[in-house]
Structure 1
Amino acid sequence: MHHTIDDGPAFDDEAVLLVGHGSRRERSNEQVRELAAGLESRLEIPVDAAFLELAEPSIEAAFDGLAGVVDRVTVVHCSLFAASHVKNDVPLAVEQVRTEHDLEIDVGAHLGVHPAILEILDERAAAVERMIGVDREVDDVAVVCCGRGSSDPDANGDVHKLARLFYEGRSFSRVEASFVGVTEPTLEESLHGLAKHRPDAVVVLPYMLGDGVLTQRVRDWTDEFDADYPYVAAAAGDPLGTDPRLLEVFADRWQEARSGSVEMSCDTCKYKVDLQGYEDDLGGARAMVRALAHRASHADREDVDDEPHVHDGPNRHVAVCTNRTCTEMGSSAVLERLRQATRDADGCDVRITRSSCLGRCGDGPMVAVYPDGVWYGDVDDADAERIVSSHLERDRIVSDIVDRTL
């Protein structure tokens, strides 16, 4: 049976893959699965959940399950902003899947700044106002929209855009953007700055999906501020969670992807535009290798309550192109030789990973060493031994097979 709904026609051979980041806290992963189930009911087609890391299934495993069952899959991001996971990690995984499965794959945009999300935030703010006994129409109420913070200026800029849009048309005295970490201003800085204006109340809205370690930090810092400034009533609201209105945003992103109308913020993307202070991030090839390193850099730690997003990666990461052309030229054998040689090496702290096309077809097998930014071309088994013994063990580049440096 074919379904027709408000969001467009759906087909029996089509599925959606809702991709979340993944968390060591199973409750956060369950929230992604709950959203997937809700989206399935809304779209009336199968919707599976997958995760970049720290949870199962992985994107690749989810596609393995869908291949042979459906002909078309639309990837929908369970991410608020277009930072490295949206721009690099998910596209990289999808490209690898395309080399392994005969599927039509569409990839949607991040959730972004959407009217439905502004509605949810407005309700979250109103709930806090009721709790602390203030009214924005009468009292001086300030709001802080707090994101997690990113090394991507485009993603951080969207938090400021969100704050401005939330201010427009509402009776708050001011609405400011802040971050848990990575960038500035931090939430602590924003709160202490607001205290100088002596508002009656400060409402802190954690702009996050899951309720985990970071949202608890937001609550703790807000409670500390409330105790330090008795003349200001302050409290933090709940994250977006699994609010049903998020399904409207997911449905919009699904429809955009299926119709080829996805719009990304390429004019301010640090991987495509030479932005001051981010010059080293320019270039898709560099970004892809960094994404490979990032995906392999997460390791479980016992002190996860203190640091929810820990990177205990190796000193180096080696990516071997296993796209069709490089595979035909022997990249699979090079990959295995590199792995064996690093296992045999003494104290060689490195991780070897397959990659999709590195954009140098015909010059392969291609091997990229990160963070050194050295790419080797036309690599054979003997060269793999030299890359390990010379470059990885002794920091000496194998100059005669260098294809390029970044």
Structure 2
Amino acid sequence: MSTPDQTTPAAAAGFDDEAVLLIGHGSRREKSNEQVRELAATLESRLGLPVDAAFLELAEPAIDEAFASLAPVASQVTVVHCSLFAASHVKNDVPLAIEQARADHDLEINNGAHLGVHPAILDLLDDRAAEVEAELGVDREHDDVAVVVCGRGSSDPDANGDVHKLARLLYEGREFDRVEASFIGVTEPTLEESLHGLSKHRPDAVVVLPYMLGDGVLTQRVRDWTADFDADYPYVDALAGDPLGTDSRLLDVFADRWQEARTESVEMSCDTCKYKVDLEGYEEDIGGARAMLRALAHQEAHADRDDIDEEPDSHDAPEKHVAVCTNQTCAKMGSPAVLERLRQEVRDSDHRDARITRSSCLGRCGDGPMVAVYPDGIWYGGVEDADAERIVGDHLDRDRIVSDLVDQTL
């Protein structure tokens, strides 16, 4: 806490009965959750306000529990997000939890923005890159150093676009040979694709920066994929750096987001939000009701899970991943109906560890609707919604390929 002769931001602003709730995602790795709690403690010292930590899933306390514990001691709570970008958690899940808390408690709740693209984060990433360069024994001023900023990947194009923006801003004004954006999954380019693409340019070194807060499962995956690339390409030195962690510069970002929320000056990228505007390939997501239903379904998927190691989590790699092309051509042929029917069949079947998602163009325009099943590498063509029952019942449940629908195998 601050000493008596110091004026904290909270005291200067005249906030007497306020608390802050720092919301993290939650991880199976307790080390990652402890990082969020450490950030909450240091932010408390920075702001001179009580700061509690809460988690969306996989860790405790949950958001509703945190609000319940703050309600007896505070009249207003300002939510500060650990989320790096504004995807579904920021746009759907947390706002829904806040509305529920407002209904359950006599609280004034201010909702802040995600961390986003911030100068302090750019400085932090630059330092993370310099640490890797030092370990590799290279110098960006004299060697060709390529950087890959690797995000988690989202079904929200606005969030994915910000990863590319961050990569570009990291490149501007610095002497890197190139800086590219990549993702662990969900969208493209994947880290593996970006690394193999960079190999063609034969840089002296490749620095991979995991754009993640905590040191969790995905961060380790970034390290593993980078190590595999380094072993496969002996003429390029490659190494992954550390995540953002608990670096003190994050407090600058948190403080800014707190101030914005408390003064009702939060700005969100509504012009490119898939829930508000008609974006190619995401037309079905428009509308607050759809966003709310999606958030409720996500919460239900994680509710009442006493042993998180016994049940597949929606962020783990599923046993089967079914991608349905919803690009313009396939959509006109009826792929949205196929997508919904597949999801319904999975819900009705015993095959719980399967994920049905939209996909961009699968490169088979005219042969659709296209449905791809991974990791089997089976592509079905000309699929109708009536075929969903066979794809789920035969292929997903019994591992029997629906031969008359096969377009190609990979």
Fold match by TM threshold 0.5: yes
**Matching residue of 2:241:** 237
3-state secondary structure, aligned to 1:22 = coil
Deviation at 1:25, TM superposition (A): 1.4
Question: Structure 1 residue 276 and structure 2 residue 280: aligned?
Answer: yes
3-state secondary structure, aligned to 2:301 = coil
Is 1:2–1:12's contact at 8 Å kept on the other side of the alignment? no
Q: Point out where structure 1 has 5 or more consecutive residues left out of the alignment.
A: 313-346, 350-406
Correspondent of 1:12 among 9, 16, 19: 16
Alignment of 1:91-130 (within 5 A): 91-130=95-134
Structure 2 vs 1, CA of residues 311 and 233 (structure 1 numbering), >3 Å: closer, same or farther?
closer
Correspondent of 1:205 among 206, 209, 212: 209
Correspondent of 1:295 among 288, 299, 306: 299
Alignment of 1:122-201 (within 5 A): 122-201=126-205
Q: Aligned partners of 1:196, 1:308: CA distance in 2, in Å?
A: 35
Q: Could you report, residue by residue, the CA deviation over 1:170-200 in whole angstroms, capped at 9, with x for unpaired residues?
A: 0001000000000000000000000101111
Deviation at 1:9, TM superposition (A): 1.6
Question: Structure 1 residue 222 and structure 2 residue 226: aligned?
Answer: yes
Moved more, 51-60 or 265-274: 51-60
Deviation at 1:310, TM superposition (A): 3.6
Q: Aligned partners of 1:28, 1:193: CA distance in 2, in Å?
A: 31
Q: Aligned partners of 2:261, 2:89: CA distance in 1, in Å?
A: 17
Correspondent of 1:309 among 308, 315, 319: 315
**Matching residue of 2:393:** none
Q: Aligned partners of 1:100, 1:35: CA distance in 2, in Å?
A: 27
Structure 1 residue ranges (4+ consecutive) displaced by more than 6 angstroms after TM superposition: none
Question: What is the one-letter code of the residue matched to 1:153?
Answer: P
Is 1:3–1:44's contact at 8 Å kept on the other side of the alignment? no
Superposition RMSD in Å: 2.1
Percent identity between the aligned chains?
A: 77
Correspondent of 1:83 among 83, 87, 109: 87
Q: Aligned partners of 1:217, 1:68: CA distance in 2, in Å?
A: 42
Structure 2 vs 1, CA of residues 311 and 287 (structure 1 numbering), >3 Å: closer, same or farther?
farther
Q: Aligned partners of 1:127, 1:149: CA distance in 2, in Å?
A: 25
Q: Aligned partners of 2:253, 2:291: CA distance in 1, in Å?
A: 28
Is 1:10–1:44's contact at 8 Å kept on the other side of the alignment? no
Is 2:301–2:314's contact at 8 Å kept on the other side of the alignment? no
Q: Aligned partners of 2:147, 2:292: CA distance in 1, in Å?
A: 37
**Matching residue of 1:249:** 253
Q: Could you report, residue by residue, the CA deviation over 1:235-268 in whole angstroms, capped at 9, with x for unpaired residues?
A: 0000000111101100000000000000000000
Correspondent of 1:64 among 61, 68, 80: 68
Question: What is the one-letter code of the residue matched to 2:174?
Answer: R
**Matching residue of 2:51:** 47
Structure 2 vs 1, CA of residues 310 and 222 (structure 1 numbering), >3 Å: closer, same or farther?
closer
Question: What is the one-letter code of the residue matched to 2:8?
Answer: I
**TM-score, structure 2 as length reference:** 0.73
Alignment of 1:355-394 (within 5 A): none
Q: Aligned partners of 1:44, 1:100: CA distance in 2, in Å?
A: 27
Q: Aligned partners of 1:243, 1:10: CA distance in 2, in Å?
A: 28
Question: What is the one-letter code of the residue matched to 1:302?
Answer: D
Question: What is the one-letter code of the residue matched to 1:58?
Answer: A
Is 2:58–2:308's contact at 8 Å kept on the other side of the alignment? no
Q: Could you report, residue by residue, the CA deviation over 1:196-249 in whole angstroms, capped at 9, with x for unpaired residues?
A: 011111000000001011111111111111111111111000000011110110
**Matching residue of 2:268:** 264
Q: Aligned partners of 1:24, 1:191: CA distance in 2, in Å?
A: 27
Structure 2 vs 1, CA of residues 61 and 187 (structure 1 numbering), >3 Å: closer, same or farther?
same
